Structure 1
Amino acid sequence: MYRLSSNATLFLKLFVPVFWTTILAALTIVAWFVRDNLFEGSLLTSFRYGTLFALVLAVISFLVLLWPLKRVETDGEKVYVSNYFRTAFYRWDQDVESFTETRFLFFRFATIRLNGVGSFGRKMRFLVDKSLLDNFKEELPGVLPHSEAT
């Protein structure tokens, strides 16, 4: 079994959003429920709305950028995709339409596009471990369909 996704996926998908949402939610609650006279009468209105804005922006960012990340493994015949709560498998030759790699800042992402809608949708994104993916490509050449790098 070959793992294609990075070990950092679990950290980015679960730990970072839970940790930062907890910290920002606690700060927002404190900002909204503290009495003004505790800060020598200074107005906390902009601070309160700023913390609320930061919390909402962070949650939306986590939902859009990190939550869709998947853990991906393969045996060369099937690709196993997991969101850490459930796992689905697809056949490389029948179910997978394309495999695309992209770079963003320090990270390398890949997208598996299916012929039809699967358990996690039609497109599944994951954080690539470069050495593991290169090792898989060397040992089983020709398995990845329409491999593109951008």
Structure 2
Amino acid sequence: MYRLSSNATLFLKIFLPVFWITIMAILTMVVWLVEPSKFGGLNMTSLRWAASFTLVVGVVSFFVLTWPLKRVETDGEKVYVSNYFRTAFYRWDQDVEALSEFRFLFFRIGVIELNGIGSFGRKMRFVISPRLMKKFREENPGVLPEAKG
């Protein structure tokens, strides 16, 4: 079994959002619940709304950017896609229409497009491990659809 996704996927999908949201939620609650005198005369209205806005923007950002990431493995015939709670598999030759790649910040993101709608939708995103992807392509030429992008 070959893993194509990076180890960073678990960190980006679960650990970072949980840690950041927990810290920001606690900070926001403190700003709203603690007496203003404890903050040395700061304008509490602005601080409260800034903390609340930062929390909401962060949650939405994680929901849009990191929650859709998947773990991807393959045995050469099938691709196994997991969201760390359940796993689905698809055949490279029958179910997968295309594999595209693009750069986002420091990461290479892969998108597997299916011919129809699968368990996780028609398009599934994952963080590519360049080293593992290269190794798989060298050992199994012609299995993966040609990358677009």
- Say yes or no: TM over 0.5: yes
CA distance in 1, matches of 2:39, 2:138: 63
Q: Deviations over 1:93-138 (max 9, x none)?
A: 0000000011122111100000000000000000000010001111
**TM-score of the superposed pair, with normalisation by structure 1:** 0.96
Q: Deviations over 1:53-110 (max 9, x none)?
A: 0000000000000010000000000000000000000000000000001112211110
CA distance in 2, matches of 1:32, 1:80: 45
CA distance in 1, matches of 2:34, 2:143: 59
Runs of 5+ unmatched residues, structure 2: none
Superposition deviation, residue 147 in structure 1: 2.0
**TM-score of the superposed pair, with normalisation by structure 2:** 0.96
The SS at the match of 2:145 is coil
Q: Which amino acid aligns with 1:97?
A: E
Q: How many residues align?
A: 149
Consecutive aligned runs of 4 or more in structure 1 exceeding 2 Å deviation: 37-43
The SS at the match of 1:72 is strand
Runs of 5+ unmatched residues, structure 1: none
* Aligned alpha-carbon RMSD (Å): 1.0
Superposition deviation, residue 34 in structure 1: 1.1
- Equivalent runs, 1:78-97 vs 2, <5 Å: 78-97=78-97
Moved more, 78-87 or 32-41: 32-41
- Equivalent runs, 1:50-61 vs 2, <5 Å: 50-61=50-61
Superposition deviation, residue 43 in structure 1: 2.7
Moved more, 14-23 or 96-105: 96-105
Q: Percent identity?
A: 66
- Which residue in the other structure is 1:119 paired with? 119
Superposition deviation, residue 144 in structure 1: 1.2
The SS at the match of 1:90 is strand
